[in-house]
Structure 1
């Protein structure tokens, strides 16, 4: 599986996608922006283009000719997605810390880059994963519908979460008010988001393996 992962990262992932986290993460420096968009660029740009590249290279047929199992093929591809997601979110978090130091007195209308906000981002990516990965491996070839559905779901979550954050004084206080300085609360939200991310991604992986085993590679 490790060799498959290395193969995907070296041959299947355009180097530009490894630079993207820095480019999109820098948007965290825009004061008071809608920061959900920073990670949504991964869903909008990286995933569709990366899977289009795999399809153009006929990667599925090439990989199936190697002495590897279908389970390992899925595990490697899911690992690539998760690695890129974590790269995006970690870089964005670093820029988020810089943001808080650059604008210490900024009044946020949208979610501030707090630990709780990053917990919500993990949930958003978890929703993206369970839909995209599970749908894609129905065929392991057609990615368009899976991308459309998963991106739509991630955007819907981000939109609803942000709307609640704006409209609800209680939620706004948690993320932008006094709750922002409550390290216990913020850490709990972040931890919950990470757990949801892990659980839903693992479920997506298991669903993908089950579906891919039924796919006839031609």
Structure 2
């Protein structure tokens, strides 16, 4: 028996068929290319991993400890919330106060100017009052009428009483001293009414300053 072998034709080479001729007599080579193989879709698979065994006895203690921490945090959170609300209220009050200050600033400055004027006026009144009162220092009487009465009494003693020369000389000196005080006493009498008025105005100014 004679065996024959057939050489396989490679799949990658294109197959060539008989050539056709065109109208000019030239042969045209026809090439048929090999098509691509079909793509097979791959499937998706879900793999279920078994849950590891859990010993509930081992988790009770940590869970209880966690619940204890949570119980402690609740009042702290409530306190923090209340403090935040309190701070928010203070901020609101501060903003309102600032708004009132800005609104009343002109009025406030006007009041400060008025207070300064009142203080200057009060200082002027106090100075005049002290000046008038200082004029009374060294006077033996509180009024001109009292001074006149004392002079008449001393003159009566000289005329009707039996005095020694020394006593009479002392009385004459007293009468001379009282007569020297007459001008100061008249000045005081003239300013006495204005003194009461200035004291009243000074008190009124003090009340307005402290308002």
> What TM-score results when the alignment is normalised by the length of structure 2?
0.24
Higher helix share: 1
Structure number, greater radius of gyration? 2
> What TM-score results when the alignment is normalised by the length of structure 1?
0.23
The one of the two structures with greater contact order (alpha-carbon pairs below 8 A, sep at least 6) is 1
